[in-house]
Each structure stands twice: as structure tokens, then as C-alpha cells.
Amino acid sequence: MEIIKEISKMKEISKLWKRKGYKISFVPTMGFLHEAHLALVRKAKELGDKTVVSIFVNPLQFGPKEDFREYPRDLERDLTLLEREKVDVVFIPETEEMYPSDFQTYVEVTKLTTGLCGAFRPGHFKGVTTVVLKLFNIINPDIAIFGEKDYQQLQVIKQMVKDLNLDIEIVAHPTVRENDGLAMSSRNIYLSTEERKSATVLYKALLLAKELINKGERDSQNLKNKLEEFIHSFPYTKVQYIEFVDPLTLEPVKKIEKPVLCALAVFVGKARLIDNMLINLE
Ligand code: PAF
């Protein structure tokens, strides 16, 4: 496994691979890897001839009051895990090389980013699309894998790829969960033992939404009220949003008549956790 820091070196290797006709698959990450990242890596290995994983905690996608500084980092452990997966290249650029002092170009998907997390994290998706496009340009992958836990991010990236005519296949990977249903996330490390117990409420709330819809509830406001009450019955929780949206446009749905995405953002202690579920009508 090769560890590359310089953008020019990464571009060189990728060009060489392309000349040899290799299919490059790519998994972008912010490090502090867990089983869900490794599942994406395994998928990438299955789909491509050469696999690149990037580790870069992207300052552009954090708001001024968010956890950029505290975001968990453990490069040594990450590299051990990736070596075990037989990744070909780990790309770890320096912030100064990604964003030199005269950096001034951004890419923004406008509509899909207005609701859900976008409503509470201004500039977040602009930071995500800008860094992901830069990584795509540097690595030049044929395939890139994203997890469905960050459902809005996945849709936003797909839209960017479509709008900007990028020749990259975006592959969605299902959310990987702990045994008790909690979606795996690097931010779960922020949870105390007691908060960790409460954190299972996100998945339980999604299952409750599914059950209520299957029993005939079609009014999303009624569903939101019931879910909010349920979530707040668990200690340390504070709902940021509960939304029922169209799975493609992410527009809010008032009356549920076709498959709907239920998406949640909940603070458990200081950890802001998100989760979602696509609910089909039975
Ligand atoms: O999902 C993430 O970890 C990040 O948003 C990504 C895609 C690596 C961009 O920084």
C-alpha cells in the first residue's frame, strides 16, 4: 500500500493506471475509520482494479461553531486498517496544498442542499462538493462509493456528477449499523456510556415511522409529532429535525402516498447524529 501526500504524485499514479486501462475506484473519507468505511472499501475493491482511499478532514465543510478541531483523528490506526484491506493507495493531502492561501473557487449544488442538514449547516454541502470535486479531479476515479447514512450528501454528489458531466459512477452503499441498530459514525466516539444507550433512539424512531405508516398514518405532521415525543422520551436527546421527504428531490412531503425518506438529525449529548430510512408503502 502506497501512502501519497502530494497532489502531483497522486495525479501521476492515476494517469499511469489509466494508461494501463485499470478501473480506479475511490472511497473519500475523513479518517477515524470504522466498519462502515471498511465496507465501502471492500465494495470499491470488488468493483475496480485499483482502489484509492482519501483521508482528509475538510475544513471547508465545517461551520465556525462545529467540531473541526475536535473531529476524531487516528491516522496510524487508519493506515493499519487500510493495509489489511489491501488498498492500493491512501491519499492524505495537506490542507495547505488543497486550499492554498489564494484559493477562491467553489462548487455548489443549489436546490438539493436547502433542506434537511443543509438548513442547519449553512455552507456544509458547498464544502463537501468543492472537496469531492477536487478529489475527483486529482484521483480521476471511474467509480466512487458513498454511504447511504449521509443520504443528502449522496444525492448532492450524484447531482453534481450529472450537472457537471463527470464520467464517474457513484455507487451507494447501505448504512452499516451496530448490533443495536445505531448507524456507524466517527462521531459516535463523542457519546458517553449513558448517551450511547440513548443513541439507539434514532433507528428505533425510524422503525416506529415505518410501523405507523404501514398501519395507515399518512400525515407527515402527525408522524413528526409522534416521533419527536418518542425521541425526547430518551435522556440526553434533542431533535434538530425530523423530515419526510421525496427520496429523489428531497422536497418535504405532507401526505404520504408513495415511497418516502424519513430523515432525522438528533443531538445526543453534544454528538449530532443523523440517520434515515426509505419507507415503502405496504
Ligand atoms: O462523508 C464524508 O466523510 C465527507 O463528507 C467526505 C465525502 C469525505 C468529504 O469530505
Q: Residue 229 is placed in which grid cell?
A: 415525543
230 and 160: one domain?
A: no
User: What does the pLDDT look like over 35-66, one tens digit per residue?
Assistant: 999 999 999 999 999 999 999 999 999 999 99
For atom 2 of ligand 1, the residue with the nearest CA is: 29
pLDDT score, position 85: 98
**Shared-domain flag, residues 137 and 241:** no
Q: Is 78 in the pocket of ligand 1 (CB under 6 A)?
A: no
List the beta bridge partners of residue 172: 146
Task: For residue 183, give Cα distances in angstroms to 38, 150, 160, 177, 273.
Answer: 14, 10, 26, 4, 9
Confidence (pLDDT) at 109: 98
Per residue in 69-127, pLDDT tens?
999 999 999 999 999 999 999 999 999 999 999 999 999 999 999 999 999 999 999 99
- pLDDT of 43 reads 98
Is residue 168 located within the same domain as residue 32? yes
For 71-142, where are the E strands, in sequence order?
89-91
Q: Report strand pairing: 89-91 vs 2-4.
A: parallel
Question: What integer pLDDT is reported at residue 259 of this predicted model?
Answer: 98
Q: Is 178 inside a domain boundary?
A: no
Domain limits for position 195? 186-277
Contacts 24+ apart (CB under 8 A), 158-166: 159/109, 159/112, 160/107, 160/109, 160/129, 160/132, 160/133, 163/109, 164/107, 164/133, 166/136
**Is 141 found in the same domain as 206?**
no
Whether the per-residue pLDDT at 254 is higher than 90: the answer is yes
**Is residue 232 among the annotated active site residues?**
no
**Where residue 137 falls among pLDDT bands split at 50, 70, 90?**
very high
Tens-place pLDDT, residues 187-199: 999 999 999 999 9
Burial of 34 (0-12, 13-18, 19+ CB in 10 A): middle
> What is the band of 25 on the pLDDT scale with cuts at 50, 70, 90?
very high
Average pLDDT, the chain: 98
Give domain status of residue 86, yes or no. Answer: yes
Q: Which residues are annotated as a binding site for beta-alanine?
A: 61
Q: Please check whether residues 216 and 146 belong to one and the same domain.
A: no
DSSP 150: G
Residue 145 CB–ligand 1 contact under 6 Å? no
Give the Cα separation of 20 and 173 in Å (integer).
28
Judge whether 54 lies within some domain: yes
What is the pTM for the complete model shown? 0.98
Q: CA-CA distances (angstroms) from residue 92 to 9, 37, 136, 155, 196?
A: 11, 16, 14, 25, 31
Instruction: Supply the pLDDT for residue 282.
Output: 82
- For residue range 232-252, what is the model confidence (pLDDT) as tens digits? 999 999 999 999 999 999 999
Would 132 be classed as within a structural domain? yes
**Boundary of a domain, candidates 173, 205, 228:** 173
C-alpha cell belonging to residue 29? 473519507
